[in-house]
Chains A and B, each alone.
Chain A
Amino acid sequence: KAGVTQTPRYLIKTRGQQVTLSCSPISGHRSVSWYQQTPGQGLQFLFEYFSETQRNKGNFPGRFSGRQFSNSRSEMNVSTLELGDSALYLCASSLAAGGGTDTQYFGPGTRLTVL
């Protein structure tokens, strides 16, 4: 079974631009969560989608948005990029809506660099 895939793996943008990252969950998984990982702030939860609905949102500005499609693939968008948005963006998929009984599988991440 294929794992969680994220595209692109690396991305370089300049301040003020916008970017879209993609995550394809494991086949059959309906939940996708996004995390931002930086040396300064560590791993922080961005949002979670389940069956095309945002179920949970972290403490990030409105420049960060996401969506989920009917095939469970998810995208996240960051508009008006700032230098501080440089990070590794991880997505994780799981079968169901929540609770620790369901294992979350992480993708390899997208490394975003903002110049």
Chain B
Amino acid sequence: AQTVTQSQPEMSVQEAETVTLSCTYDTSENNYYLFWYKQPPSRQMILVIRQEAYKQQNATENRFSVNFQKAAKSFSLKISDSQLGDTAMYFCASGGATNKLIFGTGTLLAVQP
């Protein structure tokens, strides 16, 4: 069975600062993928970043980067230079051979001006 755990229900960061959101996972799949999705107040889910588990190099997308620790089953998201538009619920998710995604419970991030 696959599980995804996000232990931080809410976080707050000042504009322009850096924040890290935590995620741990467990999966029985050999080839799996990890994702961070953002859900702003509009409720539209947006893919932020994706990591293939077989790749050792951490994924980066502009101000967003991950710290993928495979042995520890940890997948944290770092947001640099936080902007007001980053205010949203962030979900960590895992997937495998199919398009089925297992989501964590989410972290509500508030960026303060």
Out of B31, B44, B52, B98, name the residue touching A106 (CB < 8 Å): B44
Q: Does the CB pair A100–B100 fall under 8 Å? A: no
The CA of A94 and the CA of B46, in the complex, are separated in Å by 13
The CA of A79 and the CA of B67, in the complex, are separated in Å by 43
Tell me the chain B residues, 4-40 only, with Cβ under 8 Å from chain A.
31-35, 37
Q: A42-B103, A88-B43, A106-B46 are in contact. Are A98 and B91 (CB under 8 A)?
A: no
Q: Does the CB pair A98–B98 fall under 8 Å? A: yes
B interface residue count range (under 10 / 10 to 19 / 20 to 34 / 35 or more): 20 to 34
Chain A residues with CB under 8 Å of B32's CB are: 100
Q: A56-B98, A97-B98, A103-B47 are in contact. Are A108 and B105 (CB under 8 A)?
A: no
- Interchain Cβ contacts within 8 Å, total number: 72
The CA of A90 and the CA of B104, in the complex, are separated in Å by 16
Interface residue count on the A side (C-beta < 8 Å): 29
Interface residues of A: mostly helix, strand, loop or mixed? strand
Q: Does the CB pair B99–A97 fall under 8 Å? A: yes
A112 CB to nearest chain B CB (Å): 13
Q: Does B84 contact A (CB under 8 A)?
A: no
Tell me the chain A residues, 40-85 only, with Cβ under 8 Å from chain B.
42-45, 48, 50, 55-56, 58
Interface residues of A (CB under 8 A from B): 31, 33, 35, 42-45, 48, 50, 55-56, 58, 88, 90, 92, 94, 97-109
Interface residues of B (CB under 8 A from A): 31-35, 37, 42-47, 50, 52, 91, 95-106
> Can you pick out 13 interface pairs between chain A and chain B where the beta carbons lie within 8 Å of each other?
A33-B99, A43-B101, A50-B99, A97-B99, A99-B33, A99-B95, A100-B34, A100-B96, A102-B99, A105-B47, A106-B45, A106-B46, A108-B43
